Amino acid sequence: METMTTGMTRRHFGTAAIAAASLLSSRSGWAQEDLPKGPITLVVPFAAGGATDVVSRHVAKKVAEQINQTIIIENVTGAGGVVGATRVAKAKPDGQTLLMGTISTHTINPLMAKQPPYDPVADFTAISMIVTVPNVLLVPPTSKATNVKELIAMLKAEPGKYSYGSSGVGTPPNLSGELMKTMAGVKMEHVPYRGGAPAMNDLIGGQIPILFDVLSGAAPFIKAGTARALAVTTKKRAGSFPDIPTVAEQGLPDYETYTWNAIFGPPGMPAAMTERLSAEFRKATLDADVKQRLIELSGEPVGSTPNQLSAQVRAEIAKWGPIIQAAGLKAE
């Protein structure tokens, strides 16, 4: 658990006040009472040191400076994010307990579970999408495939011969592979691993010929040349690797997958508080230093409104439900 506080100098306060006035001018009715009454706990439903944890700490630190309140980062692990998400879904709607949710907590896990412990829409207050992170399609440097079209041709020439690895059943990289199978009309057996690191080791070692991974985790291996990146899975190229084309550019124009981090609160939070927190998280996300750090982590800073985040979650559920059902993916 980590506490983030702020002690503003006169210069810093003046700078923050000017920025805040610009952002919040249309919300002149906002006051201190629109913020939570005490310290805010931001629940990170994954282990410390992971990508979600790192993003959370950068953004929370900036928000704490902006609102001059304490934000405590609490890592609540278990069941692929379900334990931490469930805790927030059952918290008081006072804004003092928030969640750094992901596509796993708000789309994949609920769709895979036989009896979901929460409703990803009804049991949360959407606040702001922080960042999206591409997945990436990788092969060993010795592979004959140098682009997506060549890879698809290989898979069609010898159906069932090739397998692909991912960080586990139901993870965003797993869904990236399943979506490619559906859209390209190819066969690949899925080889699930307990995390991206062992999967990458087997790709480098030649045990698997194809790997879908989160770009932030694969970045060091791409830079070192030990893994060849054929494509990122977002519609736009990643700012951290602008030379890697997208899957959509290479013959599958509607292909798009990614993971994301977004702020949610318990259900029933006051509208004024929700809007105020959303504005503060948007401001922090788009701060020059925070934005640059997120880009360095292979992310695409977003900073959405509550309505935009709510619509995004609904769209993700509609998109992935049929794919998860067709692939027979179930929570382990």
**332 or 137: whose pLDDT is higher?**
137
Query: Residue 87 pLDDT more than 80?
Result: yes
Count Cβ atoms within 10 A of the Cβ of residue 239 and give its class: 0-12 exposed, 13-18 middle, 19 or more buried: middle
pLDDT per residue over 171-215, tens digit each? 899 999 999 999 999 999 999 998 888 999 999 999 999 999 999
Residues 218/136, Cβ–Cβ less than 8 Å: yes
- Look at residue 99 and tell me whether its pLDDT is greater than 50: yes
> Is 60 exceeded by the pLDDT of residue 226?
yes
> 53-81 pLDDT, tens per residue?
999 999 999 999 999 999 999 999 988 89
Q: pLDDT higher for 49 or 281?
A: 281
CATH number of 2-132+259-327: 3.40.190.150
- Residue whose pair of structure tokens reads 């990508």 in the numeric block: 51
More confident residue, 266 or 49: 266
Instruction: Kindly report, residue by residue over 35-47, the tens digit of the pLDDT.
Output: 999 999 999 998 8
Q: How many CA atoms lie within 13 A of 244 on its CB side?
A: 26
Write out the residue limits of the CATH 3.40.190.10 domain(s) in the chain: 134-250
Q: For 241-297, what is each residue's pLDDT tens digit?
A: 999 999 999 999 999 999 999 999 999 999 999 999 999 999 999 999 999 999 998
DSSP symbols for 232-291: ESSSS--TT-TTSPBTGGGT-TT---EEEEEEEE-TT--HHHHHHHHHHHHHHHTSHHHH
For residues 299 and 216, is the Cβ–Cβ distance under 8 A?
yes
> What whole-number distance in Å separates Cα of residue 16 and Cα of residue 22?
10
Confidence of residue 50 (pLDDT cuts 50, 70, 90): confident
Q: Cite the residue boundaries of each domain of the chain with CATH code 3.40.190.150.
A: 2-132+259-327
Q: What is the pLDDT of residue 63?
A: 98
How would residue 232 be classed by pLDDT, with cut points 50, 70 and 90? Answer: very high
Looking at the predicted structure, is the pLDDT value of residue 16 above 50? no
Q: Checking DSSP bridges between strand 210-214 and strand 125-139, what pairing results, if any?
A: antiparallel
Helices (H), the chain: 10-24, 51-67, 82-89, 103, 109-112, 148-157, 172-184, 196-205, 215-224, 271-285, 288-296, 306-327
What dotted CATH number matches 134-250? 3.40.190.10
44: three-class secondary structure by DSSP: strand
